[in-house]
């Protein structure tokens, strides 16, 4: 696999924001060094399932059946493989694995029909690429799985997850992504989305959240703080590893100091930062008699 040229980040997406929060060094490897990663069977299955759920809406409402959706899985896999031939290596050793993997994808697609009824839905947008520039200049971008608009004009943002729903105490992560999208749509269209809906096909759960203006303003503040931290690390080259339970899934352990590795030389120019101005009390005039 070829490594692409290193460039400083210019925008933020929900996945890259999540990377930085998980581990700044992982963010650097992905966004700045652009180190190659091995394809993953689970992520590839997610791509195929998303493609099927999008394509199903090409059919007239009455024909959007579970059988039809299942029947689209193999074809969407072939289309993806034609675009990314390297994915063939996922099943190179054992042909039976591919059959099992396709069956799992079909089951995920079929479960969707227990959660939503596509014969009663007419999405306003599918796989919608969105990009908005905040007043601060920060560019936010991402792809929204589905946008529904009610006759009253109320907007619902829908995202499909092929994994299981998190326990309530861990729901902030996926909700953060949805608030990110809501903020972008709000900035682009001036309409506050009414509902955010996460559809977890792995466990058959639907999580909804009705955002308020205050939620989205808080999300904006959080993203600005995150971008400030990313910009500082980009300039100084100081990207700290933050080990956690997801390290087991990380492709970059060989370059990670937490696992005895060494990161590649930093590919961007380092700009030493000037010392912060001293706090007022530190520069206060000396006491009389000092
Ligand atoms: S192995 Fe863990 S600590 Fe190291 S870069 Fe990957 S996620 Fe970060």
pLDDT digits (tens, 9 = 90+) for 64-98: 999 999 999 999 999 999 999 999 999 988 778 99
Q: Which atom of ligand 1 is nearest to the CA of 24?
A: 8
| Distances 34 to 26, 42, 239, 267, 269 between C-alpha atoms, Å | 10, 21, 14, 11, 16
Say how many Å lie between the CA of residue 23 and the centre of ligand 1: 6
In a domain, 286, yes or no: no
Task: Return the best residue to mutate from 16, 22, 26 for the ligand 1 pocket (most ligand atoms within 8 A of CB).
Answer: 26
Cα(first)–Cα(last) distance of the chain, in Å? 67
Q: Residue 78 Cα, ligand 1 centroid: separation in angstroms?
A: 33
**Domain contains 54:** yes
173-210 per-position pLDDT tens digit: 899 999 999 999 999 999 999 999 999 999 999 999 99
Ligand 1 atom 3, closest CA: 243
- Residue 223 within any structural domain of the chain: no
Q: Answer yes or no: is 171 within a domain.
A: no
Query: Does ligand 1 come within 6 angstroms of the Cβ of 243?
Result: yes
Question: Nearest residue CA, atom 7 of ligand 1?
Answer: 247
pTM to 2 decimal places: 0.89
Average pLDDT for 212-225? 96
Cβ neighbours for 125, distance < 8 A, ≥ 6 positions apart: 144, 146, 147
In the chain, the number of structural domains is 1
State if residue 25 touches ligand 1 by the CB under 6 angstroms criterion. Answer: yes
Spacing, Cα 16 to ligand 1 middle (Å): 14
Asked whether residue 135 is domain-assigned, the answer is: no
Q: Is 257 in the pocket of ligand 1 (CB under 6 A)?
A: no
Asked if residue 23 belongs to a domain, the reply is no
Residue 76 lies in a domain: yes
d(CA 173, CA 248): 19
- Residue 155, sorted as left (phi over 0), alpha (psi -120 to 50) or beta, turns out to be beta
**Domain range for residue 101?**
41-120
Between 2 and 34, where is the model more confident? Answer: 34
Q: Which two tokens stand for residue 244?
A: 């956690």
Q: Is residue 50 part of a domain?
A: yes
User: Is the CB of residue 231 below 6 angstroms from any atom belonging to ligand 1?
Assistant: no
Q: Residue 3: pLDDT band by 50, 70, 90 thresholds?
A: low
Q: What's the confidence (pLDDT) of residue 95?
A: 77
pLDDT at 4: 67
Could you tell me if the CB of 253 is within 6 A of ligand 1? yes
18 Cβ closer than 6 Å to some ligand 1 atom: no
**What confidence tens digit (pLDDT) does each residue in 231-288 have?**
999 999 999 999 999 999 999 999 999 999 999 999 998 876 656 555 444 444 444 3
Pairing of strands 125-133, 139-149: antiparallel
């Amino acid at each position: 696999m070829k490594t692409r040229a290193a460039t400083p980040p210019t925008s933020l997406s929900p996945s890259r924001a999540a990377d930085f929060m998980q581990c700044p060094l992982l963010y650097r490897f992905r966004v700045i060094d652009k180190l190659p990663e091995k394809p993953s069977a689970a992520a590839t299955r997610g791509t195929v399932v998303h493609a099927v759920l999008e394509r199903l809406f090409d059919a007239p409402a009455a024909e959007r059946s579970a059988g039809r959706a299942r029947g689209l899985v193999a074809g969407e896999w072939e289309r993806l493989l034609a675009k990314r031939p390297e994915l063939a290596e996922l099943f190179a050793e054992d042909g039976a694995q591919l059959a099992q993997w396709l069956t799992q994808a079909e089951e995920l697609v079929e479960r969707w029909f227990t959660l939503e009824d596509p014969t009663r839905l007419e999405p306003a947008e599918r796989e919608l690429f969105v990009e908005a520039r905040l007043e601060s200049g920060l560019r936010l971008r991402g792809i929204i799985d589905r946008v529904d608009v009610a006759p009253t004009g109320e907007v619902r943002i829908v995202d499909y997850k092929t994994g299981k729903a998190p326990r309530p105490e861990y729901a902030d992560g996926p909700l953060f992504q949805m608030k990110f999208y809501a903020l972008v749509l709000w900035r682009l269209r001036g309409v506050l989305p009414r509902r955010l809906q996460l559809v977890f096909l792995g466990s058959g759960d639907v999580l909804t959240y009705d955002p308020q203006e205050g939620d989205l303003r808080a999300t904006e503040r959080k993203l600005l703080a995150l971008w400030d931290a990313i910009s500082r690390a980009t300039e100084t080259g100081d990207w700290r590893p933050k080990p956690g339970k997801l390290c087991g899934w990380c492709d970059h352990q060989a370059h990670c100091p937490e696992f005895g590795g060494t990161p590649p030389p930093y590919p961007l120019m380092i700009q030493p930062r000037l010392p912060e101005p001293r706090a007022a009390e530190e520069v206060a005039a000396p006491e009389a008699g000092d």
